[in-house]
Structure 1
């Protein structure tokens, strides 16, 4: 199907409506007064609809023209978006950014700066992938992510300090450990421990990483802290959780237990660009925003 009208004609009509006169619209569009009149007259002929009426010195859109322009506005906006996206792609702006975020990171530290980024970049989609242990390192060394939030810096990849995550031992209020005032590490061996699986390696693989105290006689292994939180609520065992999870969810049904010489510890988090100098401009822009927020926080 061949269209009767052109995008330029609808933009002309829109500008006349906005400027209030053909002369003012001609100046805004850098076109002659005659050119605009010819464009609108041709549009009226093509659709057999009157689009403009003159009242005094002003050119006013008819009701029919306003109805048509409301529909055309979406088309005009989409055309502008298309041109802006094409421009961004021509200078290497990525259509998608992948962020690898270690599961120890408080997600709000990524999503709050993301609001700032999206205000100026509405063309790049964002994927956020949660990682842990081996998977965190893999996302960096295989350069599967544009930005990575990791624990310890990866060998040969530069990194900047990003945040600290405090880990605390937690049980449900009805767990036997909740009523004990003095708890030693040896006491923990009698109860089930809830641990988070290494998402990057097969369980049978020698590459699988283990972190922290793991001497309990029985373990319950889950994929993430959300499952761990729910398992603790059910009284299944004890687990160390990031303090930000307890603060965000509320811990009225849980209790932080006091362990002798091992009550809490902090894990430093870092931010890195796995692709280094090959990082695209959109990812680099978001990285700078994340780092700026981190600098204000640390």
Structure 2
């Protein structure tokens, strides 16, 4: 079905409403008064309803005109967005980028800058992939990510400091160890430890980090499962402090561990594709780097 009206006609009607008169709208659109009157009259004929009425010395929209314009607003906005998107795509902006975020990183460190980035870019979709240990390395060296938040240094991939994550030992508030003012590694000899699985695909490259040689090891996929396991008294675990503070859960207790109460993991930001990185990836990378200053 062929449309009776054009975007330009609706844009004219919008300009009249915003400017308050046909004369002012003509100045805004850089068109003659006569041209606008003709455009509106033609639109009225095409729709079969009155859109403009004269009140005193000014012409304004009728109730029908206002109703129709409200419906047309989103259409005009979408048309403007389409033109903006075409300009961005024409300039080489990526249609999609992938961000690899190590599971130790506080997610807010990514999503706050990402939200700001998206206000300036409505073209690029963003895939966020959670990684750990060997999978983090794999995403970088195989250039599967455009931006990567990593912890372990990766040879030949320059990186900038992005922050540190503090790991704290936690256990169920109902566990006998929770009642002790301080515990030692020996106390864990008869307690199961919950560890998060290396998400890498290669068994040879997989790593074990943070295991305290407890009696048993319970391996889970992510910190959410680890947190829930601790709540249910499955065992103890080292969790990121930001996660413990965010959940503010009285079902678990942070332990005072002798000589090993907490440790910090440095996080870094890198561009796996280096000079091949596109403008959207670089823009988000710079936004992430700038956000470090606000957190300092």
**TM-score of the superposed pair, with normalisation by structure 2:** 0.94
In structure 2, the residue corresponding to 1:116 is in which secondary structure?
Answer: helix
Matched, 1:248 2:238: no
Mapped to 2, the partners of 1:295 and 1:140 lie a distance apart of: 25
Q: CA deviation at 1:181?
A: 4.3
Trace 1:100-115 onto structure 2 (pairs within 5 A): 100-115=100-115
What per-residue deviation string (whole Å, max 9, x for no partner) do you get for residues 213-250 of structure 1? 34223111000111001101111111111111111111
In structure 2, the residue matched to 1:275 is 273
Q: Is the 8 A contact 2:13 2:40 kept in 1?
A: yes
Q: CA deviation at 1:68?
A: 1.3
Gap change, CA 1:182 and 1:77, over 3 Å in 2: closer
Q: Is the 8 A contact 1:162 1:294 kept in 2?
A: yes
What per-residue deviation string (whole Å, max 9, x for no partner) do you get for residues 83-110 of structure 1? 1111111112223232111000011111
Q: Is the 8 A contact 1:21 1:57 kept in 2?
A: no
In structure 1, the residue matched to 2:72 is 72
Q: Is the 8 A contact 1:192 1:238 kept in 2?
A: yes
In structure 2, the residue matched to 1:218 is 216
Q: Which of the residues 285, 288, 291 maps onto 1:287?
A: 285
Trace 1:1-298 onto structure 2 (pairs within 5 A): 1-202=1-202, 205-298=203-296
What per-residue deviation string (whole Å, max 9, x for no partner) do you get for residues 70-94 of structure 1? 1111111111111111111111222
In structure 2, the residue corresponding to 1:189 is in which secondary structure?
Answer: helix
Return 56-65 or 236-245, whichever deviates more.
56-65
Mapped to 2, the partners of 1:233 and 1:261 lie a distance apart of: 25
Structure 2 stretches lacking a partner, 5+ long: none
Structure 1 stretches lacking a partner, 5+ long: none
Mapped to 2, the partners of 1:58 and 1:146 lie a distance apart of: 56
**TM-score of the superposed pair, with normalisation by structure 1:** 0.94
Mapped to 1, the partners of 2:64 and 2:143 lie a distance apart of: 55
What per-residue deviation string (whole Å, max 9, x for no partner) do you get for residues 44-80 of structure 1? 2222222222223311112221111111111111111
Mapped to 2, the partners of 1:54 and 1:46 lie a distance apart of: 20
Return 179-188 or 257-266, whichever deviates more.
179-188
Q: Is the 8 A contact 2:97 2:125 kept in 1?
A: yes
Q: Is the 8 A contact 1:162 1:295 kept in 2?
A: no
Mapped to 1, the partners of 2:2 and 2:237 lie a distance apart of: 66
Mapped to 2, the partners of 1:238 and 1:46 lie a distance apart of: 73
Mapped to 1, the partners of 2:199 and 2:264 lie a distance apart of: 21
